């Protein structure tokens, strides 16, 4: 079983990895949109696709944030109930 410090470090690493992924995705959406326009696709076709992808990313980010907040709340409740653990 992992120690509390090791679990905490692993948890922080996972959070940083997810945050990096969420920060990278809008860059990729923008680059892909630019490449589509440069390749000759009409801007009016590319923009709705980019907007849709951005909205999906915002929804995923918010869900992930709520999930982490719930995990943190559960951990705090467990620590408050069992301060000696």
What pLDDT score was predicted for residue 1? 46
Q: Does the residue 85 lie in any domain?
A: no
Query: Cβ contacts of residue 53 below 8 Å, gap of 6+?
Result: 29
Domain count along the chain: 1
Q: Does the residue 23 lie in any domain?
A: yes
* pLDDT tens digit at each of 85 positions of the chain: 456 677 778 888 988 999 999 999 999 999 999 999 999 999 999 999 999 999 999 999 999 999 988 988 887 777 777 766 5
Of 47, 3, 58, residue with least CA distance to 25: 58
Q: Does the residue 79 lie in any domain?
A: no
Residue 49: domain span:
9-74
Q: Does the residue 65 lie in any domain?
A: yes
Q: Does the residue 62 lie in any domain?
A: yes
pTM over 0.95: no
CB 16 within 8 A of CB 24: no
Q: From CA 15, how far away is CA 64, in angstroms rounded?
A: 10
């Amino acid at each position: 079983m992992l120690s509390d410090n090791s679990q905490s470090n692993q948890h922080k690493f996972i959070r940083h990895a997810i945050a990096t992924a969420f920060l990278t995705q809008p860059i990729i959406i923008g680059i892909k949109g630019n490449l589509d326009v440069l390749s000759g696709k009409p801007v009016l076709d590319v923009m709705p696709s980019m907007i849709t992808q951005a909205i999906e990313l915002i929804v995923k980010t918010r869900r992930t944030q709520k999930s982490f907040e719930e995990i943190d709340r559960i951990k705090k409740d467990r620590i408050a109930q069992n301060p000696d653990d």
